[in-house]
């Protein structure tokens, strides 16, 4: 403890005390010496008398000052503590004192448990800062932790599951639903709904990456909270669709719409969607992209 440390610094042996006293007296003598002989010549006899007084004081120093602790002094009385079975998660301060822990260590334990810290195994107890190894070894056999305590990882996972927002289906969600997602404000939620209407619905969650102004970091953060139901996708019949309808689709637009209509007028109705690949502008990549929105029936 702090008091013991101060005691160590001010604990002197007999020789050390004698030296300190001698030094203090010598300082006093030198301080008052000019006043003692002021106005007269230095008297050797007076100096001898002063030296005798100093020697006598040193001989009686042990009678004046309290004795210092030496190796021969009896050891301090051993701290008395009582050992008993305890749960470190619920033990009160009085119980820790009875077990022989210092006030500082007890405060550390109380701070740990008050902030949600838990001991799940007896070995966890040695994590306490300031706990001495001999104290841990002494208390370890008496630690009894209730079996219903759950590991920290399980508790954190359960809390996370409770706080996790519900999954949002992006083909039926309105702007009010989408704005609940972290990072999706009023503007982005309206853009998502408008883009979905132009497409005829989403066939994959990844299409949200095409929304203007939606950062990829935001999309990656909310991706796990999204789902996509393909049953509501609106499809166009490429054998009957008007050119303006094809041009309005974000994946078709003007030039491709003109090419599709020209092919249809020249070769007649499409028998299968695969025939779209015969149109000179339709690459495999474009075909796979627009296929979910087209039909020949």
Per-residue pLDDT reduced to its tens digit, 17-28:
777 777 777 787
- The encoded tokens of residue 297 equal 């029936």
What's the confidence (pLDDT) of residue 126? 84
- Do residues 165 and 225 make contact, with C-beta atoms less than 8 angstroms apart? yes
Can you give the pTM of this predicted structure?
0.46
Per-residue pLDDT reduced to its tens digit, 113-149:
888 888 888 888 888 888 888 988 889 888 888 876 4
Instruction: Provide the pLDDT confidence category of residue 34 given band limits of 50, 70 and 90.
Output: low
Output b/e per residue, 112-134; b: 16+ Cβ within 10 A.
beeeeeebbebebbeebeebeee
The answer to whether residue 16 scores a pLDDT higher than 50 is: yes
The answer to whether residue 231 scores a pLDDT higher than 50 is: yes
Tell me, yes or no, whether 218 and 245 share the same domain. Answer: no
**CA 110 to the chain's CA centroid:** 20
221 in any annotated domain: yes
How many angstroms separate the CA atoms of 69 and 91, rounded? 38
120 in any annotated domain: yes
The answer to whether residue 165 scores a pLDDT higher than 70 is: no
How many angstroms separate the CA atoms of 81 and 95, rounded? 10
Tell me, yes or no, whether 262 and 214 share the same domain. Answer: no
Q: For the ranges 58-62, 67-71, 79-83, 211-215, which has the lowest average pLDDT? A: 67-71
Share of the chain above pLDDT 90, in %: 37
What's the confidence (pLDDT) of residue 161? 47
The answer to whether residue 71 scores a pLDDT higher than 60 is: no
Total domains, the chain: 4
247 in any annotated domain: yes
Domain closes at, from 200, 232, 264: 232
Integer angstrom CA distances of residue 94 from 17, 102, 130, 143, 240: 42, 11, 19, 16, 87
With vertex at residue 200, the alpha carbon angle to CA 195 and CA 202, rounded to the nearest 5 degrees, is: 70
- Do residues 28 and 54 make contact, with C-beta atoms less than 8 angstroms apart? no
Tell me, yes or no, whether 228 and 241 share the same domain. Answer: no
Tell me, yes or no, whether 103 and 136 share the same domain. Answer: yes
Q: What is the mean pLDDT of residues 215-224?
A: 92
What's the confidence (pLDDT) of residue 29? 74
Bigger pLDDT: 154 vs 138: 138
Q: What's the mean per-residue pLDDT of the chain? A: 79
- Do residues 120 and 149 make contact, with C-beta atoms less than 8 angstroms apart? yes
How many angstroms separate the CA atoms of 55 and 21, rounded? 11
Largest CA distance in the chain: 143
The secondary structure of residue 241, as a DSSP letter, is -
157 in any annotated domain: no
- Do residues 271 and 213 make contact, with C-beta atoms less than 8 angstroms apart? no
What's the confidence (pLDDT) of residue 162? 47
What's the confidence (pLDDT) of residue 280? 86
Domain limits at 33? 2-64
What's the confidence (pLDDT) of residue 79? 55
């Amino acid at each position: 403890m702090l008091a013991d440390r101060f005691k160590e610094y001010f604990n002197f042996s007999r020789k050390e005390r004698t030296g300190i006293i001698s030094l203090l007296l010598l300082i006093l003598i030198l301080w008052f010496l000019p006043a003692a002989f002021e106005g007269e010549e230095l008297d050797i006899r007076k100096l001898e008398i002063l030296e005798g007084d100093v020697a006598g004081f040193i001989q009686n120093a042990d009678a004046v000052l309290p004795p210092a602790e030496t190796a021969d002094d009896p050891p301090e009385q051993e701290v008395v503590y009582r050992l008993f079975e305890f749960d470190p998660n619920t033990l009160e301060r009085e119980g820790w004192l009875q077990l022989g822990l210092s006030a500082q260590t007890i405060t550390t334990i109380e701070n740990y448990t008050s902030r949600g810290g838990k001991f799940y195994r007896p070995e966890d107890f040695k994590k306490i800062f300031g706990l001495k190894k001999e104290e841990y070894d002494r208390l370890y056999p008496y630690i009894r932790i209730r079996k219903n305590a759950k590991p920290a990882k399980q508790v954190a996972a359960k809390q996370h599951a409770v706080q996790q927002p519900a999954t949002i289906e992006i083909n039926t969600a309105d702007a009010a639903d989408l704005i609940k997602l972290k990072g999706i404000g009023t503007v982005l939620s309206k853009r998502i709904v408008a883009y979905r209407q132009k497409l005829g619905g989403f066939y994959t969650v990844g299409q949200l990456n095409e929304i203007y102004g939606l950062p990829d970091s935001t999309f990656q953060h909310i991706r796990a909270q999204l789902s996509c139901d393909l049953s509501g996708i609106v499809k166009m019949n490429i054998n009957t669709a008007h050119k303006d309808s094809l041009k309005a689709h974000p994946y078709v637009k003007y030039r491709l719409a003109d090419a599709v209509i020209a092919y249809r007028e020249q070769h007649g109705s499409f028998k299968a969607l695969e025939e779209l690949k015969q149109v000179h502008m339709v690459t495999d990549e474009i075909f796979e992209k627009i296929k979910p929105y087209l039909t020949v029936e």
